Amino acid sequence: MILSVSGLVAYLLLYGSVITGTILSSPSLRRHLSIFPRAWTAHQLLSLGGIGAAGLHTAQGVFLPQGNRLLVLAFVSPGSPPSLGLALGVSALYATVAATAAFYLRLRIGSPLWRGVHALAYPAFAMAAWHSLAIGANAWLPTIRLMYSITLASAGLVVCGRLFETALQARAA
C-alpha cells in the first residue's frame, strides 16, 4: 500500500512539474501568468518533491519484502530479469534527477547542454507513466486509469502546443 501511494504521489508531482515547466518555457503562455515568480518556485518544488517521492518509492521497492530485487543500480533481479515496466521506472528516476540537476548546474555547463539534459524531463515523465500503468498496484482501478488518461492527455496537449509554438517561431525567423 505504501509503495503504491508513494509512486502515485511521485507521478502527480512530476506531472505538475512537467506542466509548469512547459508553460514557463513558452513565451506566449508565460506572458499570461500573473503569478510568474511563484510559478518558477512551484516548478522547482514540484520537481524536487517528485524526486523525493520517487526516491522513497524506489527505496521501499528495494528494502520492503517484495522479493529479493536489486534494482536501483543495475536493473538486476536475482533469478529473473526485471520487467520492462520496472526498468522504465528506474530509468525515469535517473532521467528526472539528471534533468533537475542540469537546472542547478546550468551556469556551469552552459545553456545548450543544460537545456538538452533538462529536456530529459519529457521522456522521464513518459517512462514514469508507462511504469505506473504496466506494474502499478492500483493501475487497473477505473479511477486511477482515468487519472492517468487525464494527466497524459493534458501533458501531451501542453507539450504539443509548446512544440507548435517553437515551430512557428522558427518559421518566422
CB-based burial of residue 104 (10 Å sphere; 0-12 exposed, 13-18 middle, 19+ buried)?
Answer: exposed
> Measured between alpha carbons, how far is 14 from 149 in angstroms, rounded to an integer?
15
Return the pLDDT at 143. 94
Looking at the DSSP assignment, which residues form a beta bridge with residue 76?
70
Please state the domain count of the chain.
Answer: 1
Q: How far apart are CA 81 and CA 91, in angstroms?
A: 15
Residues in the chain, pLDDT under 70:
1-3, 32-37, 62-82
Structure pTM?
0.86
pLDDT at 3: 60
Identify the DSSP state of 119: T
Nearest Cα to Cα of residue 55 among 84, 94, 20, 19: 94
**pLDDT computed for residue 120 by the predictor:** 96
- Are the C-beta atoms of 53 and 4 separated by less than 8 Å? no
Q: Domain residues for 43?
A: 2-172
Query: CA–CA separation, 92 vs 55, rounded Å?
Result: 11
Output the nine-digit C-alpha cell for 102: 542540469
User: What is the pLDDT at residue 64?
Assistant: 57
The pLDDT of residue 71: 47
How confident is the model at residue 72, as a pLDDT? 46
